[in-house]
Amino acid sequence: MTDTKYIFVTGGVVSSLGKGIVSASLGKLLQARGYKVTIQKFDPYINIDPGTLNPYEHGECYVTVDGRETDLDLGHYERFLNIQTTRANNVTTGRIYQSVIDKERRGDYLGKTVQIIPHITDEIKRNVKLLGTKNKFDFVITEIGGTVGDIESLPFIESVRQLKWELGKNCLCVHLTYVPYIAAAKEFKTKPTQHSVKQLQELGIQPDILVLRTEKLLNHDIIRKVALFCNVADGSVMQSVDVPTIYEVPLLLQKQEIDIRVLEKVGLQVGPTPEMKQWREFLDRKTNAKETVKIGLIGKYVELQDAYKSIDESLLLAAIYNDRRLDLHLIHSEKINDNNAAELLSGMDGLVIAPGFGNRGIEGKFAAIKYARENNKPCLGICLGMQCMVIEFARNVLGLEEANSTEMARNTPYKVIDLMEEQKNITNMGGTMRLGAYECVLQKGSKAWQAYGKEQIQERHRHRFEFNNEYKKQFEDAGMRFTGENPETGLIEVAELPELKWFVGVQYHPEYNSTVINPNPLFVSFVKAAIENK
């Protein structure tokens, strides 16, 4: 293929319609036809990246292999397409402005007034095309965050308009809108969609394909009506009805030939429709799984759907690959204590101790870990979860009562978790943690090694604190094993209690490395142990 094709995915009416899932699904369908596809997300906020946003603002923060803190939609892209994204796949308004301002200071625009058009839009367009030119992708899908009509997304929409003009046939726009069902009137309403498309047209963009999000199946009259009012061909109006799992969306859109419409519009040969065999097998396995596995996830953001997105999805994938339905219970760490731990946790087949920052809910995590350790309940600690496993062990097994992480208690007498040396002089908060993929060597015979089936692994990180190696011998003498280490620095990556059925803490985040086709082995092994524990 010669020219890279650019597909933009915009959203209208309301947010949270699942632009990320539609982008990932379309990407999957094109990939299944043999094209090299990547997806990027452009977010219209001023933060340089979402690393400094808390989950209440923005859900989970995803981390790429090359150490960029990004939007959680990149997790969907990776899970659907089985690809690795990089720092180039997530761009924010903040980053665009930073780059333009740096250029202005350098004198790149000497003599000129620096303006939104053309300087900001040129920078956006340069970033849109970056992946296409560098990596020679056949398709670059760009999801534009926010909703059309927002003040913040205007420069992005204007850039899409310019690119559609410049790239001609090599560019198209998929617009995702919402068709509500008014129960009292027993009617679907297409007006919000009409308005949203009109808004896009006023900004100079005629969408090529519409995807209508709906809670109930739309009949053909509705589709035809939308097509008529929005200048879009009948066959280019798709619907995306609520489905039990997001992983059904690619097949749903394939049935409506979204990929064929794209190929026709960019002038590529259509060819036979791919079978999506592996994908279908995965979905069959999900449907056929009858028995459940009950997992308790202990964290402090239980009321937020997206706070632990990648962990939830990784557990779901691991359950399916173990032929089980996932019955996931989010348990608020602030509500757990030594007195109620048994009552809250005994019904679970396995426990996951969530990552996190700061003091809130930390004591509940210790109580849950103590319960798991004393009752031999399979337990996976992730990042802060692993650090809590270490602290709990220090307090209750080694008798170091006030043991803590210096993140929680700066002056603890027993700093079993301490700030990493290279973090000690860091004052800036943004993008300065130990981020991205690092090597880890696993000890033969350990649970982690059994899970991965090899000694050398690479997993992604997001932390400032680490196990304090001064305590290593004391912990080992009491039965804890450190079975994964960074080969260069000796940083502890994995801690285990080998005499228990499955008790593993990892400093890294296995959830950032788990896809539909390649579920993370540690999650698969943990869920297997939970099933055996039933």
Q: Where on the chain is the footprint of ligand GLN (CB under 6 A)?
A: 355-357, 383-384, 407, 462-465
Q: Which is nearer to ligand GLN, 158 or 466 (CB)?
A: 466
DSSP code of residue 532: H
Is the preceding omega at residue 413 within 30 degrees of 0, hence cis?
no
Please state the closest distance from residue 510 (CB atom) to ligand GLN, in A: 12
Least distance to ligand GLN, CB of residue 382, Å = 7
C-alpha span between 200 and 196 (Å, rounded):
6
Q: Which is nearer to ligand GLN, 140 or 408 (CB)?
A: 408
Rounded least distance, CB 386 to ligand GLN, Å: 8
Distances (CA, A) of 37 to 25, 32, 78, 134: 11, 10, 11, 13
Phi-psi region of 72 (alpha: psi -120 to 50; beta: other; left: phi over 0): alpha
Looking at the Cβ atoms of 267 and 358, the one nearer to ligand GLN is 358
| Residue closer to ligand GLN, measured from CB, 137 or 465 | 465
Work out how close the CB of 387 gets to ligand GLN at its nearest, in angstroms, rounded to a whole number.
Answer: 6
Of the pair 144, 353, the CB lying nearest ligand GLN is at: 353
Residue 256 or 486: which CB sits closer to ligand GLN? Answer: 486
Give the dihedral sign, CA 492/496/502/504.
negative
Q: Among the options 58, 76, 175, 509, which is catalytic? A: 509
Q: How far is CA 174 from the centre of its chain?
A: 22
58: annotated active-site residue: no
Q: Burial of 106 by CB count in 10 Å (0-12 exposed, 13-18 middle, 19+ buried)?
A: exposed
Question: In the Cβ-directed half-sphere of 236, how many Cα atoms lie within 13 Å?
Answer: 20
Q: How far is CA 58 from CA 51, 80, 227, 509, in A?
A: 10, 21, 34, 19
Distance CA 12, CA 447 (A): 48
Q: Cβ of residue 194: shortest distance to ligand GLN, in angstroms?
A: 44
- CB 234, min distance to ligand GLN, A: 48
Give just the sign of the alpha carbon dihedral 407, 413, 417, 420.
positive
Distance CA 525, CA 518 (A): 13
The token duo for 473 is 């011998």
Burial grade of 290 (CB within 10 A; 0-12, 13-18, 19 or more)? exposed
Smallest distance, Å, CB 85 to ligand GLN? 19
Residues in the chain: 534
Residue 508 CB, nearest approach to ligand GLN (Å)? 9
Burial 6-35 (b: 16+ CB within 10 A, else e): bbbbbbbbeeebbbbbbbbbbbbbbbbbeb
DSSP symbol at 509: B
Task: Say which residue the tokens 């208690």 belong to.
Answer: 409
User: Positive or negative CA dihedral for 218, 224, 227, 230?
Assistant: negative
Of the listed 230, 383, 388, 440, which one is catalytic? 383
Active-site option among 60, 466, 493, 511: 511
Shortest CB 400 distance to ligand GLN, Å: 19
What's the Cα-to-Cα distance from 43 to each of 26, 38, 402, rounded to whole Å? Answer: 20, 17, 43
Min dist. Cβ of residue 385 to ligand GLN (A) = 7
Active site residue 388: no
Q: Which is nearer to ligand GLN, 188 or 512 (CB)?
A: 512
The per-residue b/e assignment along 255-269, b for 16 or more CB within 10 angstroms, e otherwise, is ebbbbbbbbebbebe
**Kind and range of the H or E element at 379?**
strand 379-382
Q: Which residues contact 477 (CB under 8 A, 6 or more apart)?
A: none
Does 171 qualify as catalytic in the annotation?
Answer: no
Is the Cβ of residue 332 or residue 464 nearer to ligand GLN in the bound state?
A: 464
* Active site members: 383, 509, 511
